[in-house]
A and B are shown apart, each in its own frame.
Chain A
Amino acid sequence: MSVAKRIVIEPVTRVEGHGKVVILLDENKKVISARLHIVEFRGFERFIQGRPFWEVPVLVQRLCGICPVSHHLAAAKAMDRIVGGENLTPTAEKIRRLMHYGQMYQSHALHFFHLASPDLLFGFDADVAIRNVIGVAGKYPALAVQAVLMRKYGQEIIKATAGKKIHGTGAIPGGVNKNLSIAERDVFLRDADQQMTWAQSAVKIAKDYTVANLAKLAPFGSFDSNHLSLVRADGAMDLYHGNLRAIDAEGKVIFDQVDYQSYVDFIAEEVRDWSYMKFPFIRSIGPEKGWYRVGPLARLNTAKFIDTPLAEAARKEFIAVTSGKPNNLTMAYHWARMIELVHAMEKIHALLNDKDLQGTDLVVKGERREVGIGLLEAPRGTLFHHYKVDKNDQVVSANLIVSTTNNNEPMNRAVAKVAQDHLQGVEITEGLLNHVEVAIRAYDPCLSCATHALGQMPMELTLVDYQGQILDRKSRG
């Protein structure tokens, strides 16, 4: 029987909330596996039970301070089903899409420039004292200003469409509660060309970096996987709505155009005793090999094309690297993310010129239902909201599969791969920590712990053996 040692790295810095990584070694000090422990929200079902369904799109924003808009819209889509209002008016759907693309734009810009770019600009092994956005601001101030203003642009779109920053109310069951005025629209149109230019420069940075460093990046935290996302009926990328499509690592279709109202027939969730977070998998394949990736990389792989010209041109360059086959490189997430950034800005620009945004037909209702399921492609990947509502309009149950949960197994695999390649002995080195962080950041997990009271977020690394004895401890900051 082999004796295992555990190396615990906690918490992972530069991802939201708290998490820790356990690297399991065998008696020969070889990495067996890695376990990323994430403080996922718990108690949500209890929190939501008994609430009137129309409150849910607002309440769910309290789950997370990072992506409240994604939860807001996914819940609203589920509640559209409850009120029989899933066939939205043109104004309602376009306002929601504008909100969603604003969210995608600001989130992707934030991730790339403020989270990933320090790694790319300074190198994975650079001193953490400079390998952060403050360091980027010091050495590349123009880029940093651009990044702040891109993020701000998306946030302002969210504010204009959702109504406010905290507990936005824009999306309601069956529609929206406001349109976009001409005055509001013109503010965004004024800066749209500049934003588009910046978005294109961002995708160029990501592409050039990835191509130039492909030999180094290709093995970094990489592995073959299945990929899942929503796609439009014609196979196009659609970040707001569509049907489920899953492919394997070679591009073979596992299922396609699955109505997500029946997702439970295709997706199951495995429980493991060491984690509160579940492990989703494709039923027809099973838990061992049926796990999949979601998010920008998966979406670039599953989509047959992108319906905006600049992003489509970028997609063609992206798939050329792997000769049209799915790209399974973990570090390619960043390039894929920037292609989506361009796509989101193209969509924003087109929507701003659409007069339906000033329409006044905002809400529809139809046949009342007791089950509502809403899916969308959040910045980090496919987001599932599933509710049951009783005849008294009260929520009786809820099940959420968030993007980070969908990427649970892939993140563990990525960390394990990095550990296998970079662990030396049984000591946590700065180099190992840096590489683990870089791998996790490619997925940009949302750890959901949105409490940021003064005095939290310690940065500490602990090494313990299989009996829980602390062998080493390191801290940062």
Chain B
Amino acid sequence: MNGEAANVLLYGYGNPGRGDDGLGPALAAAIEAMAMPGIDVDANYQLTVEDAAEMGRYAAVVFADAATEGPSPFWFSRIDDSSIGRLGWTSHSVSPVQVVALARDLFGSKVAAYALGIRGYAFGELDEGLSAPAKDNLGQAVAFARRALGERRFEHYAREFGHPAAGLATSGPTWKA
């Protein structure tokens, strides 16, 4: 938390012990080190239901995660939770769509939510560190995130970098550019 009241949350998630799955926390760490005014940074292995309770504190949230598909180096999309009723479910982690929906339904949150998908390539067995191409993508994603968070023009960037194909994500979330 920075000096002034933050109204934007950057949330990086993924397991740094699973190769490129650590892209989200790596981006969060890089942004946190910049101590940007008005920006809170959080990170975890995965999103969980209690994250919904925090969403109401913010005007906007950017979920940063490794992407197994979509363009390199990254894509950036607004989260559309209109299809929440058709989603499947996993037990211990939830998707950004589900966090936003729970925040809305349970806590009256009106947070505007965006997803920053950083293209990764190696998600196999236990492995520390990012692959070389993922590191390159991370560098460009960090530069983008710094600019987007600083300018707060998320809708503009979602139109510029949105990726409809990311809607193929089958864990439930439907992404809409």
Contact indicator B91/A62 (Cβ below 8 Å): no
Q: Which residues of A contact B107 (CB under 8 A)?
A: 145
For residue A406, CB closer than 8 A to chain B, the reply is: no
> For A66, what are the chain B residues with a Cβ–Cβ distance below 8 Å?
92
Determine which of B46, B69, B88 lies in contact with A455 in the assembled complex, contact meaning CB atoms within 8 Å: B69
Q: Which residue of B lies closest to A441 (CB)?
A: B91
B102 contacts chain A at the CB level, 8 A cutoff: yes
Q: Are B168 and A148 in contact (CB under 8 A)?
A: no
Contact partner, B15, options A62, A129, A138, A454, Cβ 8 Å:
A62
Asked if A43 is at the interface of the complex by the 8 Å CB criterion, the answer is yes
A391 lies within 8 A of chain B by Cβ: no
Indicate whether A62 sits within 8 Å of B172 (C-beta atoms), given known contacts A110-B48, A147-B49: no
Which of B50, B67, B84 has the most chain A CB atoms closer than 10 A to its own CB? B50
* Option from A43, A44, A137 in Cβ contact (under 8 Å) with B105: A137
How far is it, in angstroms, between the C-alpha of A61 and the C-alpha of B15 when the chains are bound? 9
Say if the beta carbon of B162 comes within 8 Å of chain A. Answer: no
Contact, CB under 8 Å: B84 / A451: no
Known: A141-B105, A148-B102, A454-B115. A111 touches B52 (CB 8 A): no
Contact residues in B for A110 (Cβ distance below 8 Å) = 48-49, 91-92
Residues of B within 8 A of A141 (CB): 105-106
Counting contact residues on chain A (CB < 8 A from B), the size range is: 35 or more
**Do A457 and B44 contact each other (CB < 8 Å), given the known contacts A134-B102, A452-B93?**
no
Interface stretch, picked from A9-17, A297-305, A323-331, is A9-17
Of the candidate stretches A149-157, A180-188, A255-263, the one touching chain B is A149-157
Any chain A CB within 8 A of the CB of B18?
yes
A166-B43, A450-B15, A452-B171 given; A14·B102 CB < 8 A: no
Task: Please state if B102 and A455 are interface contacts (CB–CB under 8 Å).
Answer: no
B170 within 8 A of A: yes
Asked whether A148 lies within 8 Å of B170 as measured between CB atoms, the reply is: no
Q: For chain B, which range describes its interface: under 10, 10 to 19, 20 to 34, or 35 or more residues?
A: 35 or more
Asked if B34 is at the interface of the complex by the 8 Å CB criterion, the answer is no
Which of A59, A128, A145, A444 interacts with B88 by CB under 8 Å? A128
Q: Cα distance A166–B29 when bound, in Å?
A: 12
A111–B45 Cα distance when bound, in Å, is 18
Task: Give a binary string over A120-151; 1 marks a CB under 8 Å from any B CB, 0 the rest.
Answer: 00000000111011100110010011011101
**Is there an interface contact between A151 and B88, defined as CB atoms closer than 8 Å?**
no
Nearest CB to that of B125 among chain A residues?
A43
For window 46-103 of chain B, which residues contact chain A by CB distance below 8 Å?
46-50, 52-53, 65-70, 84-93, 98, 101-102
Q: Evaluate contact between A44 and B126: CB separation under 8 angstroms.
A: yes
Q: What's the least CB distance linking B19 to chain A, in Å?
A: 8
8 Å CB interface, A439-477 against B: 441, 444, 450-459, 476-477
User: Is residue A289 contacting chain B, with contact meaning CB distance below 8 A?
Assistant: no
B residues near A65, Cβ cutoff 8 Å:
15, 45-46, 92-93
Complexed CA–CA distance, A129 and B87 (Å): 7
Task: Judge if B166 is at the interface, Cβ distance under 8 Å.
Answer: yes
Q: Are the C-beta atoms of A16 and B98 separated by less than 8 Å?
A: no
* Known contacts A166-B25, A455-B168; is-contact A132 B89 (Cβ 8 Å): yes
Query: Could you tell me the distance in whole angstroms from the C-beta of B97 to the nearest C-beta in chain A?
Result: 10
**Residue pair A47, B126 in contact (C-beta under 8 Å):** yes
- When C-beta atoms are compared, the residue in chain B nearest to A458 turns out to be B170
> Most chain-B Cβ atoms within 10 A of its Cβ — which of A66, A128, A132, A451?
A451
Known contacts A453-B123, A454-B115, A457-B170; A133/B17 CB under 8 A: no
| B15→A43 contact, CB < 8 A | no
Cβ of B114 < 8 Å from any Cβ of A?
no
Known: A454-B67, A455-B68. A151 touches B49 (CB 8 A): yes
* C-alpha spacing A113/B173, complex, angstroms: 21
- A68 contacts partner chain B, Cβ-Cβ < 8 Å: yes
Q: A134-B85, A166-B25 are in contact. Are A477 and B172 (CB under 8 A)?
A: yes
A16 to B18, CA, bound (A): 15
Task: Report the minimum CB–CB distance from A311 to chain B (whole Å).
Answer: 24
Q: Are B105 and A134 in contact (CB under 8 A)?
A: yes
The interface residues of chain B lying within 8 Å CB-to-CB of A13 are 88-90
Is residue B40 within 8 Å, beta carbon to beta carbon, of the partner chain?
no
Whole-angstrom CA separation of A137 from B17 in the bound complex:
33
- Cα separation A62 to B173 with both chains bound (whole Å): 25
Contact present for B53 and A455 (CB under 8 Å): no
Bound together, the chains give a CA A66 to CA B91 distance in angstroms of 10
The smallest C-beta distance from A426 to any residue of chain B, in angstroms, reads: 25
Q: How far is the CA of A167 from the CA of B44 in the complex (A)?
A: 9
> 0/1 per residue, A220-239, Cβ < 8 Å to B?
00000000000000000000
Contact string, B13-24, partner A, CB cutoff 8 A, digits 1/0?
111111011010
Known: A14-B91, A451-B18. A148 touches B43 (CB 8 A): no
User: 19 more A-B contacts (CB under 8 A) besides A166-B43, A453-B14?
Assistant: A16-B91, A62-B15, A62-B126, A65-B45, A65-B46, A65-B93, A110-B48, A129-B86, A134-B89, A137-B105, A144-B102, A145-B106, A148-B52, A148-B53, A149-B50, A455-B68, A455-B171, A476-B88, A477-B172
Chain A residues in the interface with B (C-beta under 8 A): 13-16, 41-44, 47, 59, 61-63, 65-66, 68, 110-111, 114-115, 118, 128-130, 132-134, 137-138, 141, 144-145, 147-149, 151-152, 155, 165-167, 441, 444, 450-459, 476-477
Q: Which residues of B contact A (CB under 8 A)?
A: 13-18, 20-21, 23, 25, 42-50, 52-53, 65-70, 84-93, 98, 101-102, 105-107, 115, 117, 120, 123, 125-128, 166, 168-173, 175
Q: 6 interchain pairs (CB within 8 A)?
A: A110-B48, A128-B88, A152-B53, A452-B14, A452-B47, A456-B123
